[in-house]
Amino acid sequence: MAELKNLERDLDRFNTRLLVAALFVLLCFGLLGWRMVVLQVVRHDELALQAEANRIAVLPVVPNRGLIVDRNGVVLATNYSAYTLEITPSRVQGEMDAVIDSLAEVVPIEQRDRRRFKRLQDESKRFESLPIRTKLTDEEVARFTAQRFRFPGVDVRARLFRSYPAGEVGSHLIGYIGRINAAEKKAMEDWDDEVLANYRGTEVIGKLGLEQRYEQELHGTTGFEEVETSAGGRAVRRLKTHPATPGNTLVLSIDIKLQALVEQLFGDRRGALVAIDPRNGEVLAFVSKPSFDPNLFVDGIDVENWRALNESIDKPLLNRALRGTYPPGSTFKPFMAMAALNSGKRGPGTIVHDGGSFHFGGHEFRSHGDHGLGPVDMRRSIVLSSNVYYYSLANEMGVDLMHEQLLPFGFGRKTDIDLDGEVTGLLPSTAWKKRAYRKPEQQKWYAGETISLGIGQGYNNFTMLQLASATATLVAGGQRFEPRLVREIRNVVTQQATPVAGQALPPLALKPEHVALIMNAMHGVTQEGTSTRIFAGAPYKTGGKTGTAQAVGVKANEKYNASRLSEFQRDHSLYNAFAPLESPTVALAVIVENAGFGATAAAPIARRVFDYLLLGQWPSEEDMQATREGRSVAPTGTPRRAEDVPMSELGLPLLAGALPPGVQTTALAAPPAAAAAPARATP
């Protein structure tokens, strides 16, 4: 009986457990059913959308970057496609160095490639694809493809590369592009969401020049592709494509052939030249020497080339036309004369005796050559470049009146040209000195400091862009324009061209008779003044002013002797000019650093620019060589027709088929002329 009772108890326990288990199983199935209802009914739409998103990858399609062409259709910046070998660090199995060593057995990888990859790796995130080799040949692509299974995280990709066919010519104005670095990525976070979204997939950005200033015009509109992917993330098929829209084309006002000519005339010397059409503000030439090859930066410049550029004593990366500031020397005198006329401090017929020196406060301010010019009026003071006339004028006007009269011409402030990084230069005033110095004795303006300002020395420091722009304003009778390198922006889809240059600013109130007086005096410089020999035989009329500006000061009891100074301590050679005399179409400013008198180096370059623009002439080789060496006056030899000089001779091929529809070649309407006559603070 006891045994039967134990069996009954065990059976009861078993049945209880069975019931509990059945209820538990039923509960589980109920939960599963409830969950299925939630997933299949309640959240159906949401989960279906997620599943579709997992199945379909939306990939950005980076647009072709816009072209940059000169006014005649010469392509200065374009794109080409090439294969790159790229590594995604997060997907690499094993040590990176070992992987690269193994890759080098398949595809040649040089030390500079490794250094560049290391730098990019430091600047980028681990999941970004980074190039280890660019511009692979078809054979190299085939070799890697056959071995690809050995290298997880390594792929060959087709990418667009920027190309600058002109090389060093115009590099400072065109600029270059490069990979977006960490600082730029952080700055981009402040962009509008719409603009930032347009940069999905973009890895390069404009770094300098027009490439930087017109970045968003050149970038284009990013497209996208919807690609069906497998569970492993591999693309199965393309479902939908929205093509990218290429960037717009920049049509420049620059004549790149003229640009190349000027750069050749400079040779190995340092300096800058800016030529502006005073009728609309278009920049015809924008030269900074020495220059650099922007193609070096496209793939990421290597250490050797960067060190050579960055450590060079000639500073080839410095845009001298935009950021180089210099004392204007005697090129400042026509503006001082105009300031005197505007303020009523002096009239055209006021006579000042030039005895060779000017005495003030116990100091002697000497004239050029230590000999006097005798009695001089305003015209003669410009033609013969009288220092004494302008010493006394500066003393009569005072620094603040000079500042008030000359600031509207653009001295000491930005011209707002369409390039980033422009400097203001310095047009001094008593208020400026109080801001610039801390000690009370330094903040005080001393009357003796005003004297040298009259001849473009002292605190005066301006860019060639400012001097050219001021000259353009003067010869245009006070009409002002913001200088522009881009003539128009052409939409590649609609072919609509949007003009950029030609927006007039409020004019200066200059009296026509005063403008005529100054222009006539500057014409006299080329006929009976310091640039007479340079413009001998010219079949056109021009006006200019030579200038020689000190690079280092000379003591009062010493005379300037270039042979005793190192090259970088010698005077700068300057010239500003306009042409034709009757109806100016070009205003120009040029400086050749440490080259001596204005008539020696700067004016001869300007004469050749004139001949190109007004006569369509290209200098003979012997004349170009003499100009590069600073020993030319009027042109020698037999010039060629500029149109007969092949682009290939200048390294400027016109790339067939590179221009988008609607971009037409445009010649210079009423060919602007640029003449130059040497200038110097003590001519």
Percentage above 70 pLDDT, the chain: 88
User: Which of 124, 291, 330, 632 is an active site residue?
Assistant: 330
Its pTM stands at: 0.83
Nearest of 425, 422, 416 to residue 483 by alpha carbon: 416
CA 410 vs CA 81, 149, 278, 424, 484: distances in Å: 44, 64, 14, 9, 15
Q: What pLDDT, in 10s, does the model give residues 433-482?
A: 999 999 998 999 999 999 999 999 999 999 999 999 999 999 999 999 99
Q: How far apart are CA 573 and CA 642, in angstroms?
A: 27
In the residue annotation, 330 being an active-site residue is answered as: yes
Which residues in 463-486 are b (16+ Cβ under 10 Å) and which e?
A: bbbbbbbbbbbbbbbbbbbbbbbb
Nearest of 158, 143, 152 to residue 105 by alpha carbon: 143
Give 625's contacts (C-beta < 8 A, 6+ positions apart). Answer: none
Q: What confidence score (pLDDT) does residue 2 get? A: 47
Is residue 140 predicted with pLDDT exceeding 50? yes
**Sheet with 235-242, side-by-side order of all strands:** 56-61, 223-229, 235-242
Q: What pLDDT, in 10s, does the model give residues 234-256?
A: 555 667 788 889 999 999 999 99
Q: How far apart are CA 220 and CA 67, in angstroms?
A: 11
For the 316-477+506-554+565-650 domain, the top CATH level (class) is alpha beta
Check the CA dihedral 229-154-201-189 and report its sign.
Answer: positive
Residue 514 is classified by DSSP as H
The token duo for 470 is 């001021």
- DSSP, collapsed to helix, strand or coil, labels residue 529 as coil
Give 631's contacts (C-beta < 8 A, 6+ positions apart). Answer: none
Residue 429 is classified by DSSP as -
pLDDT tier for residue 651 given thresholds of 50, 70 and 90: confident
Q: Where are any strands of DSSP class E within 522-615?
A: 543-549, 572-579, 586-592
Q: How far apart are CA 190 and CA 167, in angstroms?
A: 34
The token duo for 481 is 């324009």
Of 34 and 561, which is predicted with more confidence? Answer: 34
The token duo for 442 is 């330094």
Q: What pLDDT, in 10s, does the model give residues 49-102?
A: 655 555 566 677 889 999 999 999 999 999 988 888 988 887 888 888 888 999
Burial tier of 610 (Cβ tally within 10 Å: 0-12, 13-18, 19+): buried
Q: Could you tell me if 367 and 385 are in contact, meaning their C-beta atoms sit under 8 angstroms apart?
A: no
